[in-house]
Amino acid sequence: MRRAIFPGSFDPLTNGHLDIIRRSSPLFDEIVIAVLNNPEKHPLFSVEERCDLIRGILPGAEIDGCSLVVDSFSGLTADFARQRGAAAIIRGIRAIGDYEYELRMALMNRRLQPEMETVFLTAAEEYSFVSSTLMKQVFELGGRVDGLVPDAIIEKMRKKISK
């Protein structure tokens, strides 16, 4: 059983994240989409809301034989990955600007869990500029994010922001 975790804030999940999940699914038997519980960062959506949104968006409980599980975690990603028996941590790289930060995290996670590999996948070009932070900022200022964030999540963002 090859299990990986795909950790992130997912505040909210974007089509770039979905692209990485689709691309990584042929490589693993199970992917745990691990949503960081980070209330100190004042996320737009609570960790429970983010998990529910992701569960609602995923095309099913599996893609091409790879099971998709959504869970939240607090503390170190490396500890959560070990607790779940994962062999790898998946991270998406959009552009060269991501690399330095991602490399530092991968090396630190390797120091914490020497057996754990970080697998970098490159996102599709059309999502190379998409981040949750940019999507929230543009949306809050009245810009359109269609095609970049799943429609159902845009609807929830609309409701959340109008409150």
Beta-carbon contacts of residue 76 (< 8 Å; ≥ 6 apart): 112
Which one of residues 15, 25, 109, 118 is an interface residue with ligand PNS (CB under 6 A)? 109
What binding mask, one character per residue, do residues 73-92 give for ligand PNS by CB under 6 A, x or -? ---xx---------------
- The yes or no reply on residue 113 touching ligand PNS (CB under 6 A) is no
Sheet (strand 117-122) strand order: 62-63, 66-73, 30-36, 3-8, 88-93, 117-122
Asked if 12 interacts with ligand PNS (CB under 6 A), we say no
Of 56, 78, 64, residue with least CA distance to 23: 64
Is residue 119 involved in binding ligand PNS (CB under 6 A)? no
Binder among 3, 5, 6, 8 for ligand PNS (CB under 6 A): 8
Q: How far is the CB of 78 from ligand PNS (least distance, A)?
A: 6
Rounded to whole angstroms, how far apart are CA atoms 94 and 127? Answer: 7
- 1 within 8 A of 121, measured Cβ to Cβ: no
Q: How far apart are CA 113 and CA 125, in angstroms?
A: 32
Whose CB is nearest to ligand PNS? Answer: 8
Contact 70, 77 (CB under 8 A): no
Q: What are the catalytic residues?
A: 17, 41, 94, 132
Q: Binder to ligand PNS among 4, 36, 70, 135 (CB under 6 A)? A: 36
Nearer to ligand PNS, 50 or 163 (CB): 50
For residue 9, state whether it binds ligand PNS (rule: CB under 6 A): yes
Cβ neighbours for 70, distance < 8 A, ≥ 6 positions apart: 32, 33, 35, 51, 54, 55, 58
Q: How far is the CB of 65 from ligand PNS (least distance, A)?
A: 26
- Which residues of the shown chain bind ligand PNS in the complex (CB under 6 A)? 7-9, 36, 76-77, 105, 108-109
